[in-house]
Amino acid sequence: MRWKVRLLVAGLCAMGLLSAPAAAEAGKKADEPSKAYCARYKCIALTFDDGPWPYTPELLDTLNKHKAKATFFLLGRKVASRPELTQRIVQEGHEVGNHTWDHPDLTKLSDDEVMQEMSSTSDVIEQTIGERPAMMRPPNGATDARVTRLMTELALPQILWTGSTLDWQARDTKVITARTLKLAKRNGVILLHDIVPQTVKAMPTVLSTLEKEGYHFVTVTTLLQGRELEAGEIYPPRPKKK
């Protein structure tokens, strides 16, 4: 429940719909019904993995120009080396999630190693921006029942995606642009990487095109307002195997 409170309040604050006092009051009244932003608007969540990186400032400039919000799943070691850039991400209304310290396959680590990857990253994020991340994304989407149990213990939902651009393979601005536009759908969660310069270069066209189609670019938190997402839960849920 505490995670759900943060999810709702953070989303409203990111959109400028709550002041600090109002946010505190909203936290107290978390059980009261609230009309979700994306129930009214055509939303999409652009998510960027593996930063912060030297290309991130250009991406932030583009997002700001289009008044778009995004979610950044950060590596702890990069947060440690670029604290000011991490702070800028949050100051400009975006949100951050835990993407481990150095991008291992969590399913191949011991329990202690998984917890160390996650805790050290949450610690450095908290030291940098003043609060711990409320969600995580497993590197390469690699998770299983054991990892899910550990994420439940850490009270961290696992955020995957509805579509991946595979931008890290393509490394071509036109290809990344076309793939992103093809994957776009209402309430979609798109996987991108701000460590790929061609992805950053693709964003002006992507944002301009989707704006014309009526999309609102929101954080994952805003996208999930009103949803019953539990700690450790995988979202979007993976298709069940037949």
Evaluate whether 56 touches 84 at the Cβ level (below 8 Å): no
User: Which residue, 60, 6, 16, is CA-closest to 37?
Assistant: 16
Instruction: Characterize the bridge pairing of strands 71-74 and 158-159.
Output: unpaired
| E strand spans, the chain | 43-51, 71-74, 95-98, 158-159, 163-164, 188-193, 216-217, 234-235
User: Of 49, 50, 167, 194, which residue is the catalytic one?
Assistant: 49
Does residue 111 carry a catalytic annotation?
A: no
Does residue 66 carry a catalytic annotation?
A: no
What's the DSSP call for residue 150? H
User: Of 94, 99, 193, 216, which residue is the catalytic one?
Assistant: 193
User: Which residue, 5, 14, 20, is CA-closest to 219?
Assistant: 14
Among all residues, which ones are annotated catalytic? 49, 193
